[in-house]
Amino acid sequence: MSPKLIHHIRTMTQSPQRRRVVVTGLGVVSPLGTGIELAWQNILKGQCGIVSLQGNEYSKLPCRVAGLVPLEKDDKVTKALSKSNLKSMAPATCLALVATAEALADAEWLPKSDIDRESTGVAIGMGMIDLKDVCDTNEALKIGYNKVSPFFVPRILPNMAAGHISIKYGFRGPNHAVSTACATGAHSIGDAFRFIRNGDADVMVCGGAESCISPLAIAGFSRLRALSTSFNDEPRKASRPFDKKRDGFVMGEGAAVIVLEEYQHALERNAKMYAEILGYGLSGDASHITAPRDDGSGAVLSMSRALRDGCIDKEKVTYINAHATSTPIGDGIEATAIKTLFKDHSRNILISSTKGAHGHLLGAAGNLEAVFTILACHRGIIPPTINLEEPVDDLNYVAKESKPWTVDRRVALKNSFGFGGTNATLCIGQL
């Protein structure tokens, strides 16, 4: 019996409590740039990827700013968004493939054997389909049935990013796609974490992708009064989590992919390890389709369950990467939840939201921000909340500039909350 087969049988039959899960690869396509190092350095420098939306179709809308992925001629993202690819794939799927290629290369995991491919799964989610594709196809149908692309339905299915990644790399482990609005990315990572911990896979490629910025999407969110409208002439100031002048979130686009791996599996192949996923918590607000509970109890449940799942004492948490989207209601409720759960210890917790720099990537928000949380654990530096000039309260916010994170062991929470009252929290720790 080969050593690989012995390892596969042993690790896939270990009790779930004994299977640790670590991060071995990262990949990013974001408004702050494509590639881990570029995006990370830009976030630490306080750069902003939010720009004005160009075109007459946006000129009469209340919100005219968004976080767009920067494109340059012949770069990898531009090539991925080629006409031939977009014929059969949604833009979000193209971005997910770019981020996945970087993450797998970073992890040095491109398995060739059947055993390795069968123990590698994919969990990539998407929050919204491309509404423009739906509108364009409806117009095509008015001309004639034959004008409807045979790829139309596969393009708009939220699980197709996961499907294309699985097909391209031959991964035959769990093939999973979460769609839980703005909690999608965090749920994808958390579910992948449990697949490994429970013995369903040794390696998971997980995260989320989103590319749905269009006049219709902007109009729809504007009608909900969810988007920022006060900074159309100063787009870099529009997203301002926890600031008293916040007036709504800013839509963003991109993809972030994380390679999770069972600890012994990573150890035996001498893989680089960034951090460990310690716990995962979920909850439902059961309150309102868009607004969280006033008392923050949904977030309290989510955070406390992540800590319980990871057997982590509250006092061990010294950083929270907040969901905080820059909405008047949501940011304050999340702050209330942090105070409620951590009580006096909340003053010892550093808090930041990177959405000021890249906007709200909807289904790709939690995973992009999880990448930044993982790097903070790995490198001991916390990314700032830009545009935070007048904090909503007296919590220990990391504002404007990054801050060293110096404790014996770095342990963080990453929160993500979505419409419908769906909540997710990841507990991430330094190795």
pTM exceeding the 0.75 threshold for the entire prediction: yes
Q: Are residues 214 and 314 in the same domain?
A: no
Specify the amino acid at residue 105. A
In the predicted structure, residue 8 carries a pLDDT above the cut 90:
no
Q: Are residues 218 and 86 in the same domain?
A: yes
Q: Are residues 365 and 290 in the same domain?
A: yes
pLDDT class for 7, splitting at 50, 70, 90?
low
How many domains are there within the chain?
A: 2
- Residue 424 within any structural domain of the chain: yes
- Residue 63 within any structural domain of the chain: yes
Q: Are residues 91 and 175 in the same domain?
A: yes
Q: Are residues 206 and 352 in the same domain?
A: no
Told to judge if 182 belongs to the known catalytic residues of this protein, a careful annotator would answer yes
Mark which of 219, 249, 268 sits at the end of a domain: 268
Q: From the candidates 48, 63, 94, 182, give the one annotated as an active-site residue.
A: 182
Residues 109-145: pLDDT tens digits?
Answer: 999 999 999 999 999 999 999 999 999 999 999 999 9
Range of the domain at 291: 279-429
Residues 18-72: pLDDT tens digits?
Answer: 699 999 999 999 999 999 999 999 999 999 999 999 999 999 999 999 999 999 9
Q: Are residues 338 and 263 in the same domain?
A: no
- Do 34 and 26 meet the contact criterion of CB atoms below 8 Å apart? no
Confidence (pLDDT) at 254: 98
- Residue 273 within any structural domain of the chain: no
Q: Are residues 221 and 308 in the same domain?
A: no
Residues 218-263: pLDDT tens digits?
Answer: 999 999 999 999 999 999 999 999 999 999 999 999 999 999 999 9
- Residue 339 within any structural domain of the chain: yes
- Residue 142 within any structural domain of the chain: yes
Q: Are residues 149 and 41 in the same domain?
A: yes
Q: Are residues 216 and 326 in the same domain?
A: no
Percent of the chain with pLDDT over 90: 95
Mark which of 221, 238, 268 sits at the end of a domain: 268
pLDDT class for 15, splitting at 50, 70, 90?
very low
Q: Are residues 62 and 143 in the same domain?
A: yes
Q: Are residues 355 and 379 in the same domain?
A: yes
The enclosing domain of 100 has a CATH number of 3.40.47.10
- Residue 274 within any structural domain of the chain: no
Mark which of 268, 297, 317 sits at the end of a domain: 268
- Residue 115 within any structural domain of the chain: yes
- The rounded distance, in Å, linking the Cα atoms of 186 and 351 is 18
Q: Are residues 248 and 284 in the same domain?
A: no
Confidence (pLDDT) at 16: 44
- The rounded distance, in Å, linking the Cα atoms of 84 and 177 is 24
- Residue 416 within any structural domain of the chain: yes
